[in-house]
Each structure stands twice: as C-alpha cells, then as structure tokens.
Homo-oligomer: A and B are copies of this chain.
C-alpha cells in the first residue's frame, strides 16, 4: 500500500504529465533525453498509464485533430497533482539513500514545477541531513575493511567510489541550496 501503489516509472509519468502528453510523447522523452533513465518500451508505458488512469491520477482524452491519427493525450487530475506533491514533499529516508538516489533525484527534478520552490529547498535539506548521517557509517566500513585486509584492492576501491559519490552529492546539495538562497523569491518566504 506504500506510495499509493505507484511505481517509480509511474511517478516519472506523473511528473512529466504536468504538461499534457500522449504515451508516444512520453516514450520519446524517455528515449531521447539522456536525463531519463526509464524504459521507453510500450509494454511499460501504456500499462503504466492505464493504471494511473484507473487510480484516478490522470485522465486521457482522445484527440481527433484533422487528419491526425487517434492519439490520447493525458493530463493530471487534481488527485494526481496532490499525489505528486505528496510524493515530492516526503522527507528523504535513509533507505532511499542506501538503495539508490534515483528516486530522490527524480523527486527533486520535478519539485519546483509540481510543488514549488519551498518544496525543492525542503528536499535538499532533507537529503543533506540523511547524507550527513550516513557518511560516517561508510567511512567506518572502509577503515574496518582495511584493518581486516580481507578485502581485495578492487573491493575497497569500489567502496571508495561509493563514498566519493556520496561526498560529491553532499557538496552538490550545499551548492544547490546556495543557488536558491541567491535567487530572488517572490511572495514572502522565510529567509534561508
């Protein structure tokens, strides 16, 4: 029941549908823009869209433009937009940090459009906190592994790579927060 029963691909579709699009459009986005790591296969997209529609998160309407082929354009419903916002504004969990940050980055990429500046900032802070609390454990693993000397060079190098990537990400969260702090903000907001 977690996540309202939506897969990562489902959320990716939901996030992209802040602009109305057809299944084919979405496939093109997944196949051409390198930003997207998701499958462009029709066997994933079309069933995914149908599920989202059955759950009431999106609504499709058949377009009958002159001479054009049948083409179904989907858009978010109010429920869908709310679910998207809820997903984005959830705090980052340690599990997400460990099991892969793709989901978090996806949330962040959509955050501004779907939930606003404050949501983006909140996500960054949440991610920063989780990274800060997780990194020491990794460092410990490294020193422990070196002490045992049971790990071959490639094993400890792989661990080193993981640590570096977390550190790079942590630095990125700081820079990203700085970007938001620098940017003018409309409406009254708390100062960073």
A interface list, Cβ under 8 A from B: 33-35, 37, 98-100, 102, 105, 108-113, 117, 120, 137-138, 141, 152-155, 157-162, 164-165, 168-169, 171-172, 176, 179-180, 183
Contacts and interface: CB of A to CB of B under 8 A. Distances in A.
A153 B35 contact: no
B35 A152 contact: no
Nearest to A33: B141
Contacts of A168: 164-165, 168
Contact of A109 (B100, B108, B120, B158): B158
A79 to B, nearest CB: 23
Nearest to A88: B154
Secondary structure dominating the interface of A:
helix
A122 to B, nearest CB: 11
Contacts of A160: 172, 176
A111 B152 CA distance: 9
Contact of A37 (B99, B105, B161): B99
Contacts of A102: 100
A138 B34 contact: yes
